[in-house]
Amino acid sequence: MKPGDVKITENEKNVAIVEKGGTLYYTENGEPVHRGVVEVNGEIYYAGKDGKIITNAIHVVHSSMSNDLLRHGAYEFDEKGRVIPESYIAPRERSHKKKRSKSKINFKALKIPVGVALAAVLLVGGAIVAIKSYRNPPSVKSSEASDYMDETAPFELPQPDSAVYLCSNDLEKYYLGDLTFDQLKNSAEPPYKAYSFNYDLKEQATLEIDGKSYNMPPGAKSVQIDNLQTDTLYDYTIIALGDTYTGTLRTAPSNRFIKLDGAVNTRDIGGYTTAYNHAVKQNLLIRGSELDGLVESSYKLKDQAAAQAFGFKLDMDLRDSYTYEGDDYVSPLGSDVTHRFYNAPQYNDIFNEESHESLRQIFSDLADRSNYPVYMHCTYGADRTGTVVYLLQGILGVSEDNMEFEYRLTGFLDKGYFDNSSIDQLKAELETYRGENLNEKIEDFLITDVGITHDQIKTIRNIFLP
Same domain membership, residue 21 and residue 83? yes
Same domain membership, residue 357 and residue 264? yes
* Cα(433)–Cα(410) distance, integer angstroms: 27
Boundary residue ending a domain (228, 254, 280): 254
Listed in sequence order, the DSSP H helices in 222-332 are: 304-308
Same domain membership, residue 247 and residue 163? yes
Boundary residue ending a domain (229, 254, 279): 254
Same domain membership, residue 431 and residue 288? yes
Q: Which domain holds residue 300?
A: 258-464
* Cα(36)–Cα(63) distance, integer angstroms: 10
Same domain membership, residue 383 and residue 295? yes
By the 8 A CB rule, do 148 and 188 touch?
no
- Beta strand 73-77 pairing with 57-61: antiparallel
Domain CATH number, residue 331: 3.90.190.10
Same domain membership, residue 222 and residue 126? yes
* Cα(196)–Cα(462) distance, integer angstroms: 34
Cis peptide bond upstream of 373, omega within 30 = yes
Q: Which residue spans within 217-342 are E strands per DSSP?
A: 222-225, 233-240, 243-251, 256-257, 267-268, 285-288, 314-317, 338-341
Could you give the number of structural domains in the chain? 3
* Cα(215)–Cα(221) distance, integer angstroms: 11
Where the chain has pLDDT below 70, the residues are 1-13, 62-64, 91-162
Domain CATH number, residue 54: 2.10.270.10
Boundary residue ending a domain (33, 60, 90): 90
* Cα(446)–Cα(135) distance, integer angstroms: 55
Same domain membership, residue 36 and residue 137? no
* Cα(390)–Cα(293) distance, integer angstroms: 25
Residue burial 168-198, b: 16+ Cβ < 10 Å; e: rest = bebbbbbbbeebeeeebbebeebbbbebebe
* Cα(346)–Cα(389) distance, integer angstroms: 11
Q: What is the pLDDT of residue 132?
A: 29
Q: What is the pLDDT of residue 64?
A: 62
Helices and strands of the chain, counted as H and E runs: 10, 24
Which helix (DSSP H) or strand (DSSP E) does residue 19 occupy? strand 15-20
By the 8 A CB rule, do 195 and 214 touch?
no
Same domain membership, residue 112 and residue 148? yes
Using one digit for the tens of pLDDT, what is the confidence trace for 253-285? 999 999 999 999 999 999 999 988 899 999 999
Cα-to-chain-centroid distance, residue 39: 29
- pTM to 2 decimal places: 0.70
Torsion sign over Cα 164, 282, 289, 330: positive
Same domain membership, residue 435 and residue 349? yes
Same domain membership, residue 309 and residue 191? no
Alpha-carbon distances, residue 154 vs 6, 115, 218, 293, 417 (angstroms)? 42, 12, 18, 47, 39
Q: What is the pLDDT of residue 91?
A: 60
300 exposure class (CB count in 10 Å sphere: 0-12, 13-18, 19+): middle
Same domain membership, residue 155 and residue 108? yes
* Cα(248)–Cα(186) distance, integer angstroms: 35
By the 8 A CB rule, do 175 and 252 touch?
yes
Same domain membership, residue 316 and residue 459? yes
Torsion sign over Cα 328, 331, 334, 340: negative
